Amino acid sequence: MSAPFSGGCRCGAIRYTCSAEPVMVANCHCRDCQYASGGGASTVALVPRPAIEIEAGEPSRFSVIAENGKQVTRQFCGTCGSPLFSELESMPELFVVKAGSLDDASWLVPAAHIWTRSAQPWALVEDGLPRFDTNPG
């Protein structure tokens, strides 16, 4: 799959397109992603911020201070609750797209597990991918 790609929330109130390939795709195990996904991890695609265009609707936002001490702002549909994006104070040049919000996420291939120090023991599978205690690099 190549850019552009599109996605949105479950109820269709919010729609977006992305004009760039992901910089990275990862399974994030941070505690905030666990809360946002309702599971053990969230598969995310990091894309350049200017590549995202919200075409319909306006996401609701919720900001917290993450484990790294920086603000993370989660964006989601205020109607159906679908997680859509995250904005990271620690990486302002990137936009985090929740893989489950893509119209077709079958082409995404995670390259790593990140924030594994927060991973639930039942959620961190042995798949041979690199693992990072926090963010890589």
- pLDDT by residue for the chain (137 residues), tens only, comes to 567 999 999 999 999 999 999 999 999 999 889 988 889 999 999 999 999 999 999 999 999 998 888 899 999 999 999 999 999 998 899 999 999 999 999 999 999 999 999 999 998 888 999 999 988 86
Tokens of 82: 């679908």
pLDDT of residue 78: 96
5-100+109-118, CATH topology level: 2.170.150
Q: For the chain, how long is the longest CA-to-CA vector?
A: 39
pLDDT of residue 131: 94
Cβ–Cβ under 8 Å, residues 74 and 32: yes
pLDDT of residue 100: 94
pLDDT of residue 125: 82
Domain positions in the chain = 5-100+109-118
pLDDT of residue 75: 96
pLDDT of residue 124: 84
pLDDT of residue 53: 96
What's this model's pTM, rounded to 2 decimal places?
Answer: 0.90
pLDDT of residue 13: 98
Which residue type is seen at 43?
T
